[in-house]
Structure 1
């Protein structure tokens, strides 16, 4: 219940911020839907680089432990007639390997978010590509902060998530093209 209260409070604060400061709307680029394929292409490319970098770091940090657990599991798999004690130990080892993988995924997600935010912080951003001009002052700073958080999160999601977005965009454009064709 407390999580929902915090979310509701956050939404209320944002609504009050908009009410009292009255930010101006940002001008869209002409035909922003035509810019999206280029933006998605760059994002996929950066995601691929990030995923590879995370793989390298993660394998350096966690690879040895995973290899040891896999080797122990293979040793149990080679047993012909394991007794109940060996089967119990095998299940515990499988659970340990599963926990190890889960922890590795958590580390990879955290590394992905940090690296994605860092990439966005240095200037490779998504929303900025869709508007003509970012205003100066508090609204521009807030826009940049939101753009950094959004871009970092998208990059942390990886290239598979971006590919899904790209496919959805392609389907949207195809359905729009079908509607525009004269019957």
Structure 2
């Protein structure tokens, strides 16, 4: 139960805000079905740029350490009859390389989220492109904040995730058009 307490608190807080503060419905663009593929194609293109930028930064930051670990692993694997000490060293190096790779992935995810949030902050947003007009006041600000967080997260997820979403949308639209 404790595990879900934070989620429950967030849900109750959002519901409380919805009850206490006046809200208005959002008007979706009438041509949103045709805008959607263009938006996701743009998201896919930006994701590719972000992924490439992360590769460049990560390679500069972490490439040397990975190369040294890989070289040490290769040298130990080439020994025809390794001693017990060498086998232990191989196991330790394998674990070190795995931890190094895991840490590199964590850095890449954090960089992706930062890049995605910055891109959304300067104006490229997914939800905002599908809405006709933003509400005024607190609701418009909350919508913009949510749009920045969601767009940043989608961009951080990478082009593979966006590509899967785009393909799923294509399959749905093809099925709808057949009917």
* 1:20 aligned residue: 20
- 1:21 Cα offset (Å): 1.2
* 1:49 aligned residue: 49
* 1:69 aligned residue: 69
- 1:136 Cα offset (Å): 1.9
- 1:32 Cα offset (Å): 1.2
Over residues 10-66 of structure 1, what are the superposed CA-to-partner deviations in whole Å (9 max), with x where a residue is unaligned? 001101111111311110000312111100010001000000100111111111100
Question: What residue ranges of structure 2 are gaps of 5+ in the alignment?
Answer: none
* 2:82 aligned residue: 82
* 1:137 aligned residue: 137
Query: Separation in 1 of the partners of 2:102 and 2:50?
Result: 20
Describe the SS at the equivalent of 2:30: coil
Question: What residue ranges of structure 1 are gaps of 5+ in the alignment?
Answer: none
What is the root-mean-square deviation of aligned Cα atoms in Å? 0.9
* TM-score for both structures, normalised by structure 1: 0.95
Query: Separation in 1 of the partners of 2:128 and 2:170?
Result: 21
Over residues 111-135 of structure 1, what are the superposed CA-to-partner deviations in whole Å (9 max), with x where a residue is unaligned? 0001100000000000011010012
Q: Number of aligned pairs?
A: 179
Query: Separation in 1 of the partners of 2:33 and 2:62?
Result: 42
Describe the SS at the equivalent of 2:135: coil
Query: Separation in 1 of the partners of 2:134 and 2:3?
Result: 33
Query: Separation in 2 of the partners of 1:35 and 1:26?
Result: 17
Query: Separation in 2 of the partners of 1:9 and 1:104?
Result: 34
* TM-score for both structures, normalised by structure 2: 0.97
- 1:84 Cα offset (Å): 1.6
Describe the SS at the equivalent of 1:132: strand
Matches of residues 1-183 of structure 1 in structure 2 within 5 Å? 1-179=1-179
